[in-house]
């Protein structure tokens, strides 16, 4: 059922979007905080702007995500005698993730930049007859990040970077609800929660040139606190509602090592503080009462990646990488039909082609292998209502392109 979505389908752990540029797809984003080859370093490590030639640099990227998401029932219960339903069809689909970056020199040691990209997002759509429809049939989350940044080269060995984040967040969550007043007709209606907010945060970066061959990057991205104000709609009733969300912080250490003039090895370890989101609680904006409470049980997670770039010729560079991305969801009772997340492995290939002295293009492909994930979750935290039991099968293909230009 899933169609085209700009929000995207989460391909990093939780509902984070890893695809902040197109070039990184080719090496599975391994060592991205130490690469600094184009303007997209603004997101991965703003200190990397000092490693670009002292000109204006612009990079624009587009990643297409093709996600397959299917459910297999293994013994779900019914709710109040309503029909059990079916496996919900194909809940994945096609998503497009754009990103654009620009950086400029102020002095030989000082750089300014701006990045715009979606940093969090998820889009999942099951059929209205889905077995788990009382826990969710449609979920879309979209967070667009505006990231003005500054970088300073302290000396030949140390560069520092600072970014300010303005996050535009939107959510649309829909669930089927039984209309018990019409029993024995057994009619479902759709409940919908929508809302938006703007939040603020910051990110820090540092790069250390240990020697001519080896560079280390360190980055930190802060939490972003949001109060998502919107409405809860059921039948003809609409109630003002709000949800408090704290988007997680992240920290990463990355390394780039040149074995020789042609071969570059990359690696990184990234931690994400997903435990900042333990529940999804919808409250009335008029009375403050809890309208719904959905435990998520997120745990902090990590990601590790290794990759390589090989300069085949003066104008053509090959890329490859592999990464392991741990899910913040660790058990079947915390897993939701909205976000049936699980651990995954990235396998990636790509290339960079120089068109002329000022312009190049990157292209990459990645396949994500997800662990089979189980669900054993009670509806509304009440096992007397309905328990959804089954497994999800997920796979993702990513195709990315990126155009880089300097002037």
pLDDT in tens, 200-258: 999 999 999 999 999 999 999 999 999 999 988 877 788 899 999 999 999 999 999 99
Q: Give the CATH number for residue 385.
A: 2.40.160.60
Least confident of 173-182, 206-215, 221-230, 380-389: 173-182
Tell me the CA end-to-end span of the chain in Å, nearest whole number.
Answer: 44
- Alpha-helical (H) ranges within 117-246 are none
Residue 69 pLDDT grade (very low, low, confident, very high; cuts 50, 70, 90) = very high
Cα-trace Rg, the chain: 22
**Residue 23 region, left (φ>0) first, then alpha (ψ -120 to 50), else beta?**
alpha
Whether residue 38 lies inside any domain: the answer is: yes
Whether residue 362 lies inside any domain: the answer is: yes
Residue 3 predicted with pLDDT over 80: no
Whether residue 83 lies inside any domain: the answer is: yes
| Peptide bond just before 225 cis, omega within 30 deg | no
Tally of CB atoms within 10 A around 235? 11
3-state secondary structure of 129: coil
Do residues 272 and 248 touch, judged by C-beta distance below 8 A? Answer: yes
Whether residue 46 lies inside any domain: the answer is: yes
Whether residue 232 lies inside any domain: the answer is: no
For residue range 140-157, what is the model confidence (pLDDT) as tens digits? 999 999 999 999 999 999
Whether residue 234 lies inside any domain: the answer is: no
Range of the domain at 107: 4-192+311-406
Residue 15 predicted with pLDDT over 90: no
Number of domains in the chain: 1
Whether residue 265 lies inside any domain: the answer is: no
Whether residue 204 lies inside any domain: the answer is: no
Give me the pLDDT at residue 5, please: 42
| Peptide bond just before 18 cis, omega within 30 deg | no
For residue range 107-141, what is the model confidence (pLDDT) as tens digits? 999 999 999 999 998 889 999 999 999 999 999 99
Do residues 279 and 381 touch, judged by C-beta distance below 8 A? Answer: no
Give me the pLDDT at residue 174, please: 93
Do residues 71 and 374 touch, judged by C-beta distance below 8 A? Answer: no
């Amino acid at each position: 059922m899933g169609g085209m979505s700009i929000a995207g389908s989460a391909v990093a752990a939780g509902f984070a979007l890893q695809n902040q540029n197109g070039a990184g797809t080719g090496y599975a984003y391994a060592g991205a905080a130490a690469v600094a080859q184009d303007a997209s370093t603004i997101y991965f490590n703003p200190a990397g702007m000092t490693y670009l030639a002292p000109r204006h640099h612009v990079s624009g990227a587009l990643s297409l995500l093709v996600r397959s998401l299917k459910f297999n029932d293994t013994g779900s219960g019914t709710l109040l005698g309503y029909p059990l339903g079916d496996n919900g069809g194909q809940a994945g689909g096609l998503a497009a993730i754009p990103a654009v970056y620009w950086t400029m020199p102020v002095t030989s040691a000082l750089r300014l930049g701006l990045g715009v990209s979606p940093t969090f997002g998820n889009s999942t759509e099951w059929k209205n007859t889905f077995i788990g429809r009382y826990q969710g049939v449609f979920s879309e989350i979209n967070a667009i990040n505006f990231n003005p940044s500054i970088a300073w080269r302290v000396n030949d060995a140390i560069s520092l970077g600072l970014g300010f984040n303005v996050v535009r967040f939107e959510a649309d969550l829909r669930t089927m609800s039984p209309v018990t007043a019409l029993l024995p007709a057994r009619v479902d209606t759709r409940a919908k929660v929508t809302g938006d907010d703007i939040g603020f945060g910051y990110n820090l970066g540092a790069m250390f040139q240990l020697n001519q061959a080896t560079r280390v990057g360190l980055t930190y991205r802060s939490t972003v606190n949001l109060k998502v104000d919107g409405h809860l709609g059921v039948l003809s009733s609409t109630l003002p509602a709000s949800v408090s969300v704290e988007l997680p912080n992240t920290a990463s250490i990355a390394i780039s090592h040149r074995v020789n003039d042609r071969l570059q090895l990359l690696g990184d370890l990234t931690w994400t503080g997903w435990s900042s989101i333990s529940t999804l609680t919808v409250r009335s904006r008029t009375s403050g009462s809890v309208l719904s409470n959905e435990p998520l049980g997120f745990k902090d997670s990590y990601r590790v990646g290794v990759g390589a770039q090989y300069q085949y010729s003066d104008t053509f560079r090959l890329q490859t990488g592999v990464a392991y991305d741990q899910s913040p969801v660790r058990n079947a009772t915390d897993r939701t039909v909205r976000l049936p997340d699980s651990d995954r492995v990235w396998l990636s290939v790509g290339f960079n082609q120089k068109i002329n002295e000022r312009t190049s293009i990157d292209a990459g492909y990645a396949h994500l292998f997800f662990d089979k994930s189980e669900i054993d979750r009670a509806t509304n935290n009440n096992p007397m209502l309905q328990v959804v039991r089954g497994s999800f099968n997920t796979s993702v293909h990513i195709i990315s392109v990126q155009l880089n230009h300097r002037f």
